[in-house]
Amino acid sequence: MRVLITGSNGQLGSEIKELVTNYKKVDFIFKDLPELDICNFKALQTFIIDHNINAVINCAAYTAVDKAEEESIIATKVNNEGVLNIVNALAKVNGKLIHISTDYVFDGDHFSPYKELDPVSPIGVYGETKRAGELAVINSDIDSVVIRTSWLYSSYGNNFVKTMLRLGSEKENLGVIFDQVGTPTYARDLAKCCLDILAFSKETNINSKGNLYHFSNEGVASWYDFAISIMELGGKNCKINPIQTKDYPTLAKRPQYSVLNKSKIKIDFKIEIPYWRDSLKDCIEKIKN
Ligand SMILES: NC(=O)c1ccc[n+]([C@@H]2O[C@H](COP(=O)([O-])OP(=O)(O)OC[C@H]3O[C@@H](n4cnc5c(N)ncnc54)[C@H](OP(=O)(O)O)[C@@H]3O)[C@@H](O)[C@H]2O)c1
């Protein structure tokens, strides 16, 4: 089996790169811009055919949530048209796709964890383009899995954890939003989940057409709780003060509540999910070392 990881220099792609040494029966190829652009259908299709690719884990995405409000064309190109290109290229070789989507397809107007088939209603451009990408996969006939995740962080790339650790060294006080609630997710745990699903499908020979799943770490937090934990585990003496969303204006609106229900992925693939604070501790230890 030969698996292509697109967008491989991002948070998730980098975590997959680190983990694949444990998956010896599979051949992995890692590609990102400028070498392989998912928006260039011809190049993508040629690559997939020439390298006998059987599966793709698509980690490529336009992920700048605020900038997307002003760059909807490029966000659509990557998050929708790029995904459609992967689907169409895989259709020619009967290949499998694991695609990643987001909790931002929901409007946040909920009081209990979102299930996969709850109605979506994105409130920003990023969420809209990611929803279009989901539909490109779901409406196709290829063997595919779409995994929605939330609040991704890693020792790689730029993310909330690394920003807080930096600000924690620079500032004595910091205001962080307490009225947006979700679940932080260590990209390493999502990477393992993607690889486990791939291994499971290979072992069982089960095909799934556009099956939707939710994956985040276990538990619930506001950005305020998340920030406090980062300061504690990172050994920073910076006081975090709770502020409201209205006091921290951003270009994009974000859902107030985006906790995901993960029962389906746990049952179907027998996946065990760590508690968010345990994974955060692991990530911060890694960053420190
Ligand atoms: N980050 C989060 O908080 C979060 C939350 C929920 C869901 N997700 C989803 O989880 C997935 C992984 O996110 P992530 O945080 O790992 O993303 P990331 O760190 O932003 O990585 C995305 C990678 O894709 C590359 N890329 C962009 N356009 C491309 C193109 N046209 N062709 C090929 N590669 C391209 C990027 O390159 P450049 O850096 O050069 O643009 C980057 O290396 C994405 O689908 C994202 O939407 C993320």
The DSSP result for 145-184, as a single string, is EEEEE-SEE-SSSS-HHHHHHHHHHH-SEEEEE-S-EE--
How much is the pLDDT for 191?
98
The DSSP result for 97-148, as a single string, is EEEEEEGGGS-S--SSPBPTTSPP---SHHHHHHHHHHHHHHTS-SEEEEEE
How much is the pLDDT for 9?
98
134 lines ligand 1 (CB under 6 A): no
Residue nearest atom 18 of ligand 1, based on CA coordinates? 10
How much is the pLDDT for 10?
98
Q: The domain 2-158+184-217+259-274 is classified under which CATH number: 1.10.3720.10, 3.90.1150.10, 3.30.310.80, 3.40.50.720?
A: 3.40.50.720
How much is the pLDDT for 25?
83
How much is the pLDDT for 208?
83
How much is the pLDDT for 44?
98
How much is the pLDDT for 71?
98
Average pLDDT of the segment spanning 260-286? 97
How high is the mean pLDDT of the chain? 96
Average pLDDT of the segment spanning 114-119? 98
How much is the pLDDT for 45?
98
Q: What percent of the chain has pLDDT over 90?
A: 93
How much is the pLDDT for 7?
98
Q: How far is the CA of 239 from the centre of ligand 1 (A)?
A: 31
pLDDT tens profile 193-248: 999 999 988 777 777 888 999 999 999 999 999 999 999 999 999 999 999 999 99
9 lines ligand 1 (CB under 6 A): yes
Task: Give the residues across from 147 on adjacent strands.
Answer: 100, 213
Q: What percent of the chain has pLDDT over 70?
A: 100
104, 114, 126, 224: the catalytic one is 126
154 lines ligand 1 (CB under 6 A): no
Q: Contact at 8 Å (CB) between 93 and 139? A: no
What is the helix (H) or strand (E) element at residue 267, kind and residue range? helix 263-269
Query: Which among 5, 15, 29, 33 is the best mutation to test ligand 1's pocket, defined by most ligand atoms within 8 Å of the CB?
Result: 33
How much is the pLDDT for 50?
98
pLDDT tens profile 12-71: 999 999 999 888 889 999 999 999 999 999 999 999 999 999 999 999 999 999 999 999
Which residue has 């451009």 as its token pair?
A: 125
Q: How far is the CA of 147 from the centre of ligand 1 (A)?
A: 14
255 lines ligand 1 (CB under 6 A): no
Three-state DSSP at 48 gives helix
How much is the pLDDT for 103?
98
Q: Contact at 8 Å (CB) between 131 and 138? A: no
Residue 107: is its pLDDT beyond 80?
Answer: yes
Q: Which pair of tokens denotes residue 250? A: 């951003």
What is the helix (H) or strand (E) element at residue 31, kind and residue range? strand 27-31
Three-state DSSP at 17 gives helix
**Could you confirm whether 104 is annotated as catalytic?**
no
149 lines ligand 1 (CB under 6 A): yes
Q: How far is the CA of 81 from the centre of ligand 1 (A)?
A: 15
Name the nearest CA neighbour of 231 among 159, 147, 174: 174
How much is the pLDDT for 210?
80
How much is the pLDDT for 24?
81
* Angle, in degrees to the nearest 10, between helices 276-288 and 223-234: 40
Q: Which pair of tokens denotes residue 85? A: 């290109």
139: confidence class by pLDDT, cuts 50, 70, 90: very high
Residue 179: is its pLDDT beyond 80?
Answer: yes
